[in-house]
Amino acid sequence: MYPINETVKMVAEQGQNVIACAKELEQISLKTGKERSDLFERYCANQHSFNVYTYMNSTIENLTEVHVFQRKIALFGTVFVGTRTDYEAEVDALQAKTTYEELVASLHEMINALQFFKKTQV
C-alpha cells in the first residue's frame, strides 16, 4: 500500500495527464484521420490509468470531486468515441470545447479536494 501523500500525487498527476491529452484532442477535433483516432486511444488509456490510481485508496476513490472528474472524463470521451472505429467520423468542435473546459474546471476542484484530504490525513 502506498502512503497517502504518494497516492494523492499519483492521482493528481494522472489527472493532469488526462487533461494534457484532452487538450490535444480538443485542438484537433475537426481534423480527421489516424492521428486523431490514436490520440483518442491514448486519452482512453490515460482515463484507465486515472481510474486505477483512484482505487489505491478507498477514501480518495469515494471523494465527490473524484467522481465528478471521472464523469467529466467520460463526457469528453463521448464526443470522440466515433473516431475509434471511423477515422473520418465527424466531431462536434463546440461540444469538444465546452466539455474540455468543464473537464479542466473539475480537475482543479479535484486537486483542491485532494490537497485538503492530504492535509487532514497527516
Residue 105 counted as domain residue: yes
Residue 122, pLDDT above cutoff 60 = no
Residue 120, pLDDT above cutoff 80 = no
What is the per-residue pLDDT for 121? 67
What is the total count of domains within the chain? Answer: 1
The whole-angstrom separation of Cα 44 and Cα 108 is: 20
The whole-angstrom separation of Cα 110 and Cα 18 is: 13
The whole-angstrom separation of Cα 77 and Cα 40 is: 8
C-alpha cell at 77: 470521451
The sign of the dihedral angle between the CA atoms of 65, 75, 93, 13 is positive
Q: What percent of the chain shows pLDDT beyond 70?
A: 97
Q: What range does the domain containing 10 cover? A: 4-116
Stretch 30-38: mean pLDDT, rounded?
Answer: 95
C-alpha cell at 30: 475537426
Residue 21 counted as domain residue: yes
What is the per-residue pLDDT for 4? 81
Residue 8, pLDDT above cutoff 80 = yes
Residue 122 counted as domain residue: no
Residue 121 counted as domain residue: no
**pLDDT tens digits, residue range 68-117?**
999 999 999 999 999 999 999 999 999 999 999 999 999 999 999 998 87
CATH number for the domain spanning 32: value is 1.20.120
